[in-house]
Amino acid sequence: MLAYTLSVVAAVGVVALAALLFRSGGEDRDPGGPSAGHAGAMLSALFLLVFAIAIIVPWTTADAARQNARAESQSAVNAYWAADGLPGTAPEAVRAGLRDYVTFVVKDEWPLMADGKMDPVGAARLDALRSRVTGLKTEGDAEQDARNSVLDHLTALADARSQRGADAAATPPGGLIVLTALTGVAVIVFPFLAGARPRGITLAPLVAMAAMLGFGVYLTWDMTHAFAGPLAVGPEAFEGALREFSRIAGGM
């Protein structure tokens, strides 16, 4: 915060120094003069830059979260397939555990992620499933290979789950939304600060611009979380995994 404050003070100091050094010459009091025109253009450019960052960062996060959700659900499907080669009644037990885990994610855990949270029960269920598979006694290479394959898929599932937790907790850089709002307000009030006094119909474009800027700032705030807002990642990938479980079970 100190570095940000010092940078602002330094910038203001540069303006004061330039005004002192170049005080000779004619005054620029025209709202449409070079000083106002230059400052207005720079403020608009700054707002567009900050606004673009505030949109792109959550958009990228949401896209990565969506891809990771697909990877996690696909790992669950792969583990479901691989469980067929496990010994004894282990295939049914492991598949039931996978169904319970995915169902839990869809119905119980997904709503929590809108607030950036994960339910520890999901991790506990996954750990219990991995422990069960690890403790299986196998005979022959086929059963050993099946157990190793299931464990590999469960490890990938756990890794993807950890990444989903990181995606749920991810937010744009601190102060970005505040800076977006401040630059938006600056763009709106700048014509008045420059000396312009629009009246009547000339206020219409300014009001329209203010409304659009306000909507844009609200949008950047509303999409700060990957699992909430207009870009929210839904549980469709896991719902698809449940349908795939049913299809696999029905074909055997």
Tell me the domain boundaries of the chain: 36-250
DSSP 234: P
pLDDT in tens, 136-188: 888 888 889 999 999 999 999 999 999 999 998 888 877 888 888 888 888 87
State the alpha helices, DSSP H only, in 135-235. 140-169, 176-193, 203-222
Measured CA to CA, the distance from residue 238 to residue 227 in angstroms comes to 14
Residue 54: half-sphere exposure toward Cβ, Cα within 13 Å: 24
Give exposure, 193-217, as e/b (b: 16+ Cβ within 10 Å): ebeeeeeeeeeeeeeeebeebeebb
Measured CA to CA, the distance from residue 147 to residue 240 in angstroms comes to 24
**Tens digit of pLDDT per residue, the chain (252 long)?**
555 454 444 544 544 444 444 454 445 455 555 555 656 677 778 888 888 888 888 888 889 999 999 999 999 999 999 999 889 898 999 999 999 999 999 999 999 998 888 999 999 999 999 999 988 888 888 889 999 999 999 999 999 999 999 998 888 877 888 888 888 888 877 777 766 676 778 778 778 888 888 888 888 888 888 888 888 899 999 999 999 999 987 755
Give the pLDDT confidence score for residue 35 in this predicted structure. 56
pTM for this prediction: 0.75
